[in-house]
Amino acid sequence: MTATKRPDSAGPGGRSSSDPDPIRVSFRRYAGVRTRVLEVGEAGPDPDLPRRSLRRRAATPHVRPSAPRLVLLHGYCDSADTWRPALEQLAAAGIPAVAVDLPGFGDAQPLRPGPMLPQLDAFTTAVVREQAVLGSVVLAGNSLGGTMSLRAAQNSRLPISGVVSIAAPGFVDSWLIRTVARYPFPLRLYSALPVPVPGFLVRKVAEQLVPRLLYANSGAADALQVQRFTALFPDYRATKSRLEQARQLVAELADAYRLDSVKVPLLVVACGKDKLVTAASGRQLHTLVPHSRLLVREDWGHCPQLDDPVEIAELLTYFAASAVRTTQAKRAVETVSEDTAAG
């Protein structure tokens, strides 16, 4: 099912404009980066609580809650707002979840010079450790967020109960991502233009491209979501900077994964109408992680949380509950084995 346009009287996710917003917005600091957090369900830890106390609570088995808690990560040139429609669905179902602006995007502080993925790793690690105080963390990421979720799952020391990777790049990518990696002459020419392209022309092109790249059906694109994306390309200088950053990221993706280290439950979501990361990429990821589960939706585009937030919310809810049960059962068996060996 693909989401259709909402009536004028409805807000994001189909909520009536007169209803109170169930999404709480706050600003927190993770790995030294101040960022914006969107949250539904049980409130997160008090940011004023000393971090030593948070680490002690998360590391103490008998006080660690076991209910699933979703942590949602967005893609490149996106923000936590991409999850708003799904967050509203999760709020209505009573599922606790948070979505954060990754460093360099949305209202988060910018990335520092140097490799990007290690900075994003440190940030994701800090978010997971904070949220683990309240429940069993299940990470879900779209595009770059899918990459960060997979990389977090590679760290056996992180308290993660499961991962949903949606359209993660770096496996069998589309011609567009391969073009950015090769940096052909037209892109070099654009970056070297002595006279900047007028801002209004940059925005006009972005307005036409964004719905086609991110949605399964560009005609069903939410105007506010499209406006949010195009705001990232206000002029020639900003577009040139984003292009250079994208090239760096694609280069880093070549050595981004150690998938044999992923032991937690993994759901791979591949989208048949994805114009950035092909469905073949998801199939390959599923093959490389034998215990993973694969969902192929031929009617979804690159950002299915925008195409179909209702089904995405349901998918995340059911998978999170299943992943937590599986991980808890596995840990119980490991504990018994260790006790038997010690005895």
- Structural domains in the chain plus CATH codes: 24-42+65-183+256-330 (3.40.50.1820)
Q: What is the pLDDT of residue 193?
A: 47
Rounded Cα gap, residues 21 and 179, in angstroms: 41
Give the Cα-Cα-Cα angle 74, 8, 41 (nearest 5 degrees): 40
Identify the H or E element spanning 61.
none
Mean local confidence (pLDDT), 275-302: 95
Dihedral angle sign, alpha carbons of residues 37, 210, 286, 249: negative
Position 319 pLDDT exceeds 70? yes
pTM attached to this predicted model:
0.81
Return the bridge partners of 166, or none. Answer: 142, 269
Max mean pLDDT among 184-198, 206-220, 278-292 falls in 278-292
Task: Quickly state the pLDDT bin for 2 (edges 50, 70, 90).
Answer: very low
Min mean pLDDT across 131-135, 208-212, 270-274 is at 208-212
Q: What is the pLDDT of residues 135-150, one digit of tens each?
A: 999 999 999 999 999 9
Rounded Cα gap, residues 269 and 285, in angstroms: 10
- Spatial contact of 202 and 230, defined as CB atoms under 8 Å apart: no
- For residue 92 the two structure tokens come to 């209505």
- Spatial contact of 85 and 314, defined as CB atoms under 8 Å apart: no
Alpha helices (runs of H) in the chain, residue ranges in sequence order: 51-59, 84-93, 117-131, 144-153, 175-182, 185-191, 199-214, 223-230, 236-253, 279-288, 304-307, 309-342
- For residue 298 the two structure tokens come to 């031929």
Rounded Cα gap, residues 49 and 278, in angstroms: 44
Compute φ and ψ for 11, nearest 5 degrees: -95, -170
Q: What string of H, E and C letters represents the secondary structure of 185-234?
A: HHHHHHHCCCCCCCHHHHHHHHHHHHHHHHCCCHHHCCHHHHHHHHCCCC
At residue 161, the 3 state secondary structure works out as strand
Rounded Cα gap, residues 307 and 102, in angstroms: 22
Length of the chain: 343
Task: Quickly state the pLDDT bin for 184 (edges 50, 70, 90).
Answer: very low
Q: What is the pLDDT of residue 21?
A: 86
Give the Cα-Cα-Cα angle 161, 84, 23 (nearest 5 degrees): 85
Position 83 pLDDT exceeds 70? yes
Q: What is the pLDDT of residue 58?
A: 45
Burial of 313 (0-12, 13-18, 19+ CB in 10 A): buried
Higher-pLDDT residue of 222 and 160 is: 160
In the 8-state DSSP scheme, what is residue 70?
A: E
Return the bridge partners of 34, or none. Answer: 29
Backbone conformation region of residue 41, classed left if phi is above 0, alpha if psi is from -120 to 50, else beta: left
The candidate with the shortest Cα–Cα distance to 236, out of 268, 195, 264, is 195
Compute φ and ψ for 56, nearest 5 degrees: -65, -40
